[in-house]
Amino acid sequence: MFPSRVLNRLPDWPERLATFIEARRTMPFRWGQNDCCLLAADAVEAITGHDLAAPWRGTYATEAEAETLLASLGGMEALVQSVGLHSVRSAYAQRGDVALVEVGNTRALGVVLGTTVAVPGPDGLNFAPIGTAKATWAV
């Protein structure tokens, strides 16, 4: 576990985030490649240059394997905290921060884009209102 921290964003992070979101806009959900945890980690990497998912990247490719990994780490909230991001109130979340939202009956990690949170869906990105965030972490 890393100490709680806020990562340093690269000087051109707004452009990097915009490019990242555009590239993922129509990319379908796929376990181990474009699932909610990797979308959030990939967004963080795009804006900071740090791959927070390195320890588990490439270790799962199915829903069952993802669930086993998440359970071993204590769940999504524990996963985000284990990489050193610190919790912030949703009202203070900024573009590029990580959020946990509920989409239907599913909890998903995503990236804050202002008043919405982008999460991967079957046909590309879905956008949930930031008000639906159950937790947010500063990047």
Where exactly are the structural domains of the chain? 13-138
pLDDT band of 6, cuts 50, 70, 90: low
pLDDT band of 81, cuts 50, 70, 90: confident
Whose tokens are 């490439």? That residue is: 58
3-state helix, strand, coil split of the chain in percent (to 5) is 35, 25, 35
> Quick one: what percent of the chain has pLDDT higher than 90?
88
| Spatial distance between the Cα atoms of 1 and 43, rounded to a whole number of angstroms | 20
Name the 3-class secondary structure at 11.
coil
pLDDT, mean of residues 79-83 = 89
| Spatial distance between the Cα atoms of 112 and 96, rounded to a whole number of angstroms | 5
At 7 the pLDDT is 78
**Residue 5 pLDDT more than 90?**
no
List, for residues 21-59, the tens digit of each pLDDT value: 999 999 999 999 999 999 999 999 999 999 999 999 999
Q: Count other Cβ atoms within 10 Å, centred on residue 78.
A: 12
Report, at the CATH architecture level, how domain 13-138 is classified. Alpha-Beta Complex (3.90)
Q: Look up residue 35 and give its DSSP letter.
A: S
Looking at the DSSP assignment, which residues form a beta bridge with residue 102?
107
pLDDT, mean of residues 128-136 = 94
| Spatial distance between the Cα atoms of 85 and 122, rounded to a whole number of angstroms | 27
At 3 the pLDDT is 46
The alpha carbons of the chain give a radius of gyration, in whole angstroms, of 14
